[in-house]
Amino acid sequence: MHNKLIFLLPAILLLVVPNVYAGGPRLDAGEDLTNEQADCYVSGYDAGVANKFNEDRDQECKNLGMDQYSYGWVIGCKYSENPGTTEECENRINDAESTDSVSLKEANIQDCYDSGYDGGQNNPYDQDKGRSCSEYGGSYHQGFIDGCIAADNTKETCERFTDQ
């Protein structure tokens, strides 16, 4: 009887604990955000790290009632390879060279894949990272599977790791 309870406990906890939307340290923009606004912040942060401002995404986010994309962009810019002060990062938003959203998307696809591959080598599947990379065609998931297989696991075993 105890063995059955041990196996049922995780399922029971999933049913009882409310859904939580978490995306790690990048979601420090505020607690009262909707999931969409939090996604805007994360998108802006990622774009800021890459120094690629996406005007279309910024406008989508402004239509949600908050300027989380631009705010996240400035924070990400400050942690990029070419960091700047808050004022310098705000000024980069208007830089015509920083609006190459195609390059940003390609960079994010590669970053998600690489992160997944590294995770598949020796780390558990990061559900939050997988969710944040989902807009890039499952590149984190595919990278994880490829990295896991490269670490001498079967595809079936690797797929099971993504379900945990």
> pLDDT tens-digit profile of 103-126?
667 777 888 899 899 999 988 898
For residues 83 and 87, what is the distance between their CA atoms, to the nearest angstrom? Answer: 11
Q: Give the tokens for residue 71.
A: 């705010």
Domain termination residue (choose one: 78, 98, 118)? 98
Question: Are 94 and 29 contained in the same domain?
Answer: yes
Counted domains in the chain: 2
Check residues 80 and 42 and name the one with the higher pLDDT.
42
| C-alpha 77: how far from chain center | 16
Question: Are 110 and 153 contained in the same domain?
Answer: yes
Q: Model-level pTM?
A: 0.46
